[in-house]
A and B are shown apart, each in its own frame.
Chain A
Amino acid sequence: MELLRDNVEPEDIAIFSGFTLSATFWLLLSTLVGVLISFKFPYPDFLTSPYLSFGRLRAIHTNDTFYGWASVALCGAALYVAARTSGVALRKKRFAWAGLILFNLAAICGTTTLDLGISHGSQEYREWVWWVILLFLAALVCVFVCLVSTVARRVEREIYISNWYTIGAFVFTILLGITAYVPSYQYGMGQVAVQAFYMHNAVGMWFTFLALGVTYYALPKLLNRPIYSYSLGVLGFWTNLFFYPMIGAHHYEFTPLPWWFQTLAIVFSVGMLVPVWAGTGNFFLTMRYSWETVRRSYALPFIVVGVAYYFLGSTQGTVEAFRGLQALWHLTSYTVGHSHATMYGFITFIAWGAIYALLPRATGKRPSLLITGLHFWLATVGVTAYVVFLSVGGTEQGITWASGNPFIASVDAAAPYWVGRAAAGVAMFAAHLFFAYNVYLMTFAPGRETLRYERTPQRVSA
């Protein structure tokens, strides 16, 4: 199947390219920081400075991957998907540009303030102070305006399932951000309760929805066959919406949050198997009989790994929520392994798959096959090693505590696995350098416009 170029307005190409370039910059920065702090486990005296200390850089790593990389990469893809599925060019493009500027402003201010020690509190993904998150929410509103205006002008009668997911993601996340950052009702344990809700929903109501939305477009497009079941997609949408908001408290098991409240979260964590298995089953059934196409594609292997990690990471999340296993694994490095299985194995791989699938169609420029292969294998082997090292190391930490050893024994037990994790992190960062070079080839690189246009003319908007 020949890869063909979409008929797209030049400014739509520029918007998609701009979002991807910006996201790539923050991916490189945030994962460079990640590699640096992973080396501080074996070498705690390496780069002793307030501005390069573990406690400040950890928040920079997590927030910049969250808000600077994954959000922006998936927003760029979501806008492109909205235009393609609606059969029109992007509407209100100025809002897309404003969104991109605000995303970057938020990431720059967030990184700077955290490095200066100005923080909303060490609450994961809620470290940015209120005015920085306000910039981010303003960016969301801007991109949302562009997205909705485009879908509202669609040629088809039905709203394609991708746009259900992406529009939902924006609605949920804007509401979630407001709920989490209004300060006047959260003190002490009350703030813990809100943090449990916010932190987990920021992952599952934002990134999961965006990633599934772009997959529902990219996967059938790449395979040149329809999605296996539209109904499973709709089932996934509603069950994710109804189950996910209930499960946040499983991050605070065995805390003073009410016991029944924690139990409720565990019960719905099991419920999450419904949307996860519906979604992954749907994707794998769409891919069945097409493994030769997958093997020959630039983008499909990334989506395969992304869907596999969606299945593994989310199912792991359900299992991890059981009290018997939380007692062993909670507070250990196991949790960090899990968050990389999901935010990296799932979300980041889907973002790469979407970019490799769609950006060449927009710009007409292919990535390098060799560089894509290096990117794929370094990232896949890297993240898998990362998760395995921290899962085993975290389990050892938990067992050491449970056997009543002095605390430092758990540090000694995990130490070799932390070295392994740092090595895996280097492989992952190397993969990002190859990805960045490919992004250059797909955007700025001169003389690479080799793709032929699709025959179907575009319905140009008025």
Chain B
Amino acid sequence: MNNVWTLIAASAIIYGAFCIAMGVVPGVAMSHLKPLPGAQPLNAQQARGRGIYVSEGCSYCHTQNIRPLAQDKVFGRPSVGEDYVYDTPQLLGTERTGPDLTNIGLRQPSDVWQYIHLWDPRAVVHDSIMPRYTWLFEVKKNADPGDITVPVPPGFAPSGEVVVPSPQAQELVAYLKSLKQVPLPGAGAK
């Protein structure tokens, strides 16, 4: 090929066709799935919590994607496309350094556990390598009226002070608690 414009045009036409066939068409096709019966969009607080989950890059270590494999059964039923109707940006993840969180709202429904775990994961899981998210909390001498205090086990917080979750921590925990699979229609009682 001796003409640079021919080379550019040929590359652009061929690759442009691939962009449409392998990028745009699957993108459009998979964007119009119907939500499963019983699935709810997030409320405002949970949606802000999801924003924090994205900002802090939680999904670099935690998938939200249960595979149809024996080793994934512990996390729930295999995910289906309809599970992600309200999930933009998508948070399926490509690494599972920590456990899958698709059903964390069922597995750990306790606010207290979630707050302690975010404050210091090693206070509840000895070998955990998750970072501490201390910036989502305030450490105070005394709790103010209306404050939630986190019952951090001794040795994991400054003594004589209280750990209070910030509104951001409350939003994140609200989001985590919302993560529950809904049953597939026709799946029957289990």
Query: Which A residues lie at the B interface, using CB under 8 A?
Result: 40-42, 44-45, 48-50, 53-56, 58-59, 117-124, 148, 151-152, 157-159, 163-164, 167-168, 171-172, 175-176, 179-180, 185-195, 197-198, 205, 241-242, 245-246, 248, 251-252, 254-257, 261, 327, 330-333, 335-336, 401-402, 404, 407-408, 411-412, 415
Chain B nearest Cβ from A185, distance in angstroms? 5
Instruction: Report 16 cross-chain contacts, Cβ distance below 8 Å, ordered by A residue.
Output: A40-B129, A44-B122, A54-B131, A118-B55, A119-B54, A119-B55, A122-B93, A148-B4, A171-B8, A171-B11, A176-B15, A192-B84, A246-B18, A254-B67, A255-B92, A256-B83
B71 touches A251 (CB 8 A): no
Chain B nearest Cβ from A44, distance in angstroms: 5
Q: Which of A158, A159, A188 contacts B85 (CB 8 A)?
A: A188
Please provide the chain B residues from 87 to 123 with a CB less than 8 Å away from any CB of chain A in the complex: 87-99, 121-122
Distance between Cα atoms of A121 and B1 in the complex (Å): 41
Say yes or no: A121 contacts B127, CB within 8 Å. no
B1 near A164 with CB under 8 A, answer yes
Q: Bits for B123-140, please: 1 = Cβ < 8 Å to A, else 0.
A: 001011111111100000
User: How many angstroms from the CA of A191 to the CA of B26 in the assembled complex?
Assistant: 9
Q: B25: shortest Cβ distance to chain A, in Å? A: 9
Q: How far is the CA of A261 from the CA of B81 in the complex (A)?
A: 14
- Tell yes or no: B63 within 8 A of A by CB: yes
Cross-chain contact B19 with A187 (CB below 8 angstroms) = no
The reply to whether B65 and A189 form a contact with Cβ atoms under 8 Å apart is no
Q: Shortest beta-carbon distance, A323 to chain B, in Å?
A: 10
Q: Which of B28-36, B141-149, B157-165, B172-180 lines the interface with chain A?
A: B28-36
Among B2, B22, B29, chain A packs the most CB atoms within 10 A around the CB of: B22
Q: Which residues of B contact A118 (CB under 8 A)?
A: 55
CB contacts (< 8 Å) of A159 on chain B: these are 1-2, 4, 7
Task: Return chain A residues, CB-CB under 8 Å to B54.
Answer: 119, 121-122
- How far is it, in angstroms, between the C-alpha of A333 and the C-alpha of B95 when the chains are bound? 7
| Minimum CB–CB distance for A138 against chain B, Å | 18
Task: Tell me which residues across on chain B come within 8 A of A157, comparing CB atoms.
Answer: 2
Number of interface residues of B (CB under 8 A): 73
Contact A187 B31 (CB under 8 A): yes
Residues from chain A with a CB closer than 8 A to the CB of B22 are: 197, 245-246, 248
**Cross-chain contact B33 with A167 (CB below 8 angstroms):** no
CB proximity of A352 to chain B, nearest CB, Å = 27
Q: Using A188-B31, A251-B94 as known contacts, say yes or no to A44 and B128 having CB atoms under 8 A apart.
A: yes
**How distant is the Cα of A241 from the Cα of B15 in the complex, in angstroms?**
7
Interface residues of B (CB under 8 A from A): 1-2, 4-5, 7-8, 11-12, 14-16, 18-19, 22-24, 26-33, 52, 54-61, 63, 65, 67-71, 74, 79-81, 83-99, 121-122, 125, 127-135
Q: How far is the CA of A164 from the CA of B2 in the complex (A)?
A: 10
Q: A171-B11, A176-B19, A189-B84 are in contact. Are A122 and B27 (CB under 8 A)?
A: no
Instruction: Let me know if A48 and B11 touch, CB within 8 A.
Output: no
List of A residues within 8 angstroms of B19 by Cβ:
175-176, 179, 197, 245
Question: In the complex the two chains form, is B4's CB within 8 Å of A123's CB?
Answer: no
Indicate if the CB atoms of A124 and B94 lie closer than 8 Å. yes
Please give me the residue from chain B that is nearest to A261 by CB atom.
B26
Measured in the bound complex, the distance between the Cα atoms of B32 and A187 in whole Å is: 8
Q: How far is the CA of A190 from the CA of B26 in the complex (A)?
A: 7
Per the bound structure, the CA–CA distance linking A257 and B68 in Å amounts to: 12
Is the CB–CB distance between A189 and B31 below 8 Å? yes
| CB atoms of B129 and A44 under 8 A apart | yes
Residues of chain A contacted by B88 (CB below 8 angstroms):
121, 186-188, 191
Nearest CB of A to B51, in Å: 9
Given A44-B131, A45-B132, A119-B54, are A189 and B30 also a contact pair (CB < 8 Å)? yes
| B82 CB, min distance to chain A CBs, angstroms | 8
Which 3 A-B residue pairings sit nearest by Cβ, starting from the closest? A121-B89, A55-B57, A190-B31
Contact partners of A186 in chain B: CB under 8 A: 27, 31, 88
Q: How far is the CA of A397 from the CA of B7 in the complex (A)?
A: 46
Residues of the A chain whose Cβ atoms lie less than 8 Å from the Cβ of B96: 331-332
- Among A55, A59, A123, A415, residue most surrounded by chain B Cβ atoms (within 10 Å): A55
Q: How far is the CA of A340 from the CA of B58 in the complex (A)?
A: 22
**Given A122-B57, A331-B63, 8 further pairs, Cβ under 8 A:** A54-B131, A151-B4, A159-B1, A188-B30, A188-B81, A189-B90, A256-B79, A404-B74
Given contacts A157-B2, A256-B81, contact A175 B16 (CB under 8 A): yes
List chain A residues, Cβ under 8 A from B69. Answer: 254, 327
Contact across chains for B97 and A190 when beta carbons are under 8 A apart? no
Least CB distance from A55 to B in Å reads 3
A123–B132 CB distance below 8 A: no
Alpha-carbon distance between A53 and B85 when the two chains are bound, in angstroms: 30
